[in-house]
Amino acid sequence: MTEGSRSRPAVLAALALSALAPLALLLLASVGRDWFFPAPWPPAMTLESWGDAFRGGGRMAAALGTSLVLAVGTGLAGAAVGWPIGRALADLSGWARHLGASAAFLPVAAPPVALATGLHLSALTAGVAGTTGGVFLSHLVPATGYAALYFLGVFTLFDRRVEDEARTLGAGPRTVLWRVTMPMMRRQLGEAFLLGFLVSWAQVATTLVIGGGRVRTLPLEVFAYLQAGQDRYAATGALLLVIPALLMLGAVRFAVARAEATPL
C-alpha cells in the first residue's frame, strides 16, 4: 500500500495519542484535587489516594497482590489445561469435535449472572467458596475456555510432520513434547498465558460472588470506589490495574522475542 506511506507518520502519531492519552488522563485524575469543570488542569494536587493505597497494609496494595497471584496462577494453569484440550479437539472430528468446542465455548458465552451462579453453587458444594483457591478456580473456568479455543485454532494449523519425524528418530512422547513441540510453540504459549492472565485480571462478578467479598481484588476496589464517586481513588486503582498488566504484556513479549522473531 505505497499510497498509504505518506500518511504513516500521522497514523503513528494518532495511535500513540490514543494509547497514551487515556493513561495520562487517569494519572491526572488520581492526583487532581477539586478538579472540576472548566479547569483543564487540576488546580491542586494530592498524593492522598496513592498514600492510602500503600500505607500501613493499604487496601489497594493488598488487593493488587491478590490480583497478581490469581492472574499469574490463572494464566499458567489456563495455558496448561487449555493446551491438551485444544490439541485433543483439533484431533477430533465430527460430533465429538462440535461437542468439545461447544463445551470450551460455554464459559466464554455464558452471561455473568448464569456463569457466576453456576460457579458459586459449584464452589459452595466443593467447599471452596469465599477462599482465594475458589476464586482461582472460578477464574480458571473462563480462562481455560479461551485458552482451549485458542489452542484449537493453533493445532488445527499445526504441521504434525515435525513430531512424526522426531518420533521416527526414536524420541519418546515426552521428549517430543518438551524438546520439539513446546519450543515451536513458545509464542503461542506466551499468548495463551497472557490471555488467561487478562481474563483473571478483569474479573469482577465472579470474584465478588465466589469470593463472597472476602477475596479482595483490585477490580473490586475500583468498582467500589467508582460507585461511591471517589474518582481519585478509582483512577488510582485503574492505573494500578493498567501498569502490571502492561508490564506483563512487555515481559511475555520480551521472553518470547528472545527465543524467536515475533510479529511485534
Partner 1 sequence: MAAKKIPHFVRDDTMTQVSGKLVNLRPAQPSRLAWATLALGLALGCRPAARTTAAELARLPWDSVLARAKGTTVVWRMWRGDPSINAFVDQWVAPRVKERHGITLSAVEGQGPEIVNQLVVEREARAPGSADLVWINGETFGNLRQEGLLDGPWAGSLPNARFVDSVSPIIRRDFEQDPAGYESPWGQVQFTLIYDSARTPDPPRTVAALASWILTHPGRFTHDQQFTGTTFLMTVFYALGGGVRNYQGGFDSLRYATGSAQVFHWLERHRAAFWRGGETYPPGVAELHRLFANREVDFSMSYNQNEALTKARQGVLPATARPLLLQDGTIANTHFVGIPFNAAHIAGAMVLANFLLSPEAQLEKQKPEVWADGTVLARNRLPPEWAARFARLSLDPRALASDSLAKYARPEVSPRYRERLSADWRARVRRVGQ
Partner 2 sequence: MTRSSRRGLLAALAVALPVLVGVGYSVLASVGLTGPGAAGGGSARLVAVLGEPVVWAGLAWSLWVAAASTALAAAGAVAVAALFRRGAGIDRMARLFAVLPLPIPHLAAAVAGLLLLGQSGLLARLLASLGLLADPGGMPALVYDRAGLGLILTLAWKEFAFLALVAFSVVATRGERLEEVARTLGAKPAAVFRRVTWPLLWRGILPAVVAAFVFVASTYEATAVLAPSDPLALPLLTLERYTDADLSRRGDAFALALLGMTVSLLAVAAHEWARSHWDRFEP
- Which partner from the list partner 1, partner 2, none does 214 bind, CB cut-off 5 to 8 Å by kind? partner 1
Instruction: Give min distance, CB of 168 to partner 2, in A.
Output: 19
**Scanning residues 87 to 106, which ones bind partner 1 (CB under 8 A)?**
none
Grid cell digits, residue 5: 506511506
d(CA 95, CA 55): 57
The correct pick among 136, 201, 211, 215 for binding partner 2 (CB under 8 A) is: 201
Distance of CA 200 to the CA centre of its chain: 5
Instruction: Give min distance, CB of 26 to partner 1, in A.
Output: 15
- Which partner from the list partner 1, partner 2, none does 213 bind, CB cut-off 5 to 8 Å by kind? partner 1
d(CA 203, CA 95): 32
| Prior bond of 38 cis (ω within 30°) | yes
| Prior bond of 183 cis (ω within 30°) | no
Q: Does 28 bind partner 1 (CB under 8 A)?
A: no
Q: Which is nearer to partner 2, 122 or 132 (CB)?
A: 122
| Run of H or E including 12 | helix 8-31
Q: Does 16 bind partner 2 (CB under 8 A)?
A: yes
First and final C-alpha spacing in the chain: 20
Grid cell digits, residue 195: 490471555
CB-based burial label for 88 (10 Å; 0-12, 13-18, 19+): middle
Selected range binding partner 2 among 32-40, 46-54, 57-65, 160-168, rule: CB under 8 A:
32-40
- Which partner from the list partner 1, partner 2, none does 106 bind, CB cut-off 5 to 8 Å by kind? partner 2
Instruction: Give min distance, CB of 73 to partner 1, in A.
Output: 22
Grid cell digits, residue 100: 468439545
Instruction: Give min distance, CB of 201 to partner 2, in A.
Output: 6
Distance of CA 116 to the CA centre of its chain: 18
Q: Which is nearer to partner 1, 202 or 255 (CB)?
A: 202
Mask of contacts with partner 1, 49-88, x by CB under 8 A? ---x------x-----------------------------
Q: What is the dihedral of CA 91, 93, 99, 100, to 10 degrees?
A: 10
Query: Which residues in this chain contact partner 1 in the complex, by CB under 8 A?
Result: 33-34, 36-38, 44, 46, 52, 59, 117, 120-122, 124-127, 129-130, 208-209, 212-214, 216, 220, 224-233
